């Protein structure tokens, strides 16, 4: 029988929370922006808007299957590691990273200096949110 210390459990919950948030954001990004790339295929471009919306909702269901457990597990009120504000900031930074990778690899978007400066400010935001 393996017994973990409180500190180990704390770090495990933090790791699981962040991992689930990453999975959630991958599905979210594809649900929100994937249809823009899929419209290049003739079969997809023939779908009516309601079909695209329903497909996106189906993908977003998986987003929620990861997002809700991540927030429940990670929230301090449920024994997790993060305050509500910290959870939101973590989620936003993960969203930005996932979206940046998605736009670069799927749409060949290029990062510009102003994007990098904005990322630095977001990293500073994380620092100040977690400093307290």
- Give the model's pLDDT for residue 124: 87
**30 assigned to some structural domain:** yes
pLDDT one-digit tens code per residue, 19-37: 999 999 999 999 999 989 8
Per-residue pLDDT at 115 exceeds 90: no
Is 39 inside a domain boundary? yes
- Residues 132 and 118: their CA atoms lie apart, in Å, by 22
Domain count of the fold of the chain: 1
Indicate the pLDDT class of residue 46, thresholds 50, 70 and 90.
confident
**Residue 122 CB-density burial (10 A; 0-12 exposed, 13-18 middle, 19+ buried):** middle
In a domain, 86, yes or no: yes
> Domain range holding 48?
6-131
Using CA atoms, how far apart are residues 86 and 58, in angstroms rounded to an integer?
Answer: 28
For residue 46, tell me if it sits in a domain.
Answer: yes
Q: Is residue 1 part of a domain?
A: no
21 within some domain:
yes
pLDDT band at 74 (very low <50, low <70, confident <90, very high): very high
Is there a domain that residue 45 lies in? yes
Q: Is the pLDDT of residue 2 over 80?
A: no
């Amino acid at each position: 029988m393996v017994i973990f210390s409180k500190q180990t459990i704390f770090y495990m919950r933090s790791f699981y929370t962040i991992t689930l948030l990453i999975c959630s954001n991958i599905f979210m990004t594809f649900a929100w922006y994937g249809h823009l790339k899929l419209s290049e295929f003739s079969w997809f471009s023939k779908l009516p808007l309601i079909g695209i919306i329903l497909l996106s909702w189906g993908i977003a269901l998986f987003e929620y299957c990861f997002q809700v457990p991540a927030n429940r597990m990670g929230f301090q009120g449920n024994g997790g590691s993060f305050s509500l504000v910290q959870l939101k900031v973590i989620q936003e930074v993960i969203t930005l990273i996932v979206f940046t990778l998605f736009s670069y690899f799927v749409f060949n978007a290029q990062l510009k200096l102003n994007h990098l400066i904005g990322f630095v400010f977001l990293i500073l935001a994380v620092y100040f949110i977690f400093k307290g």
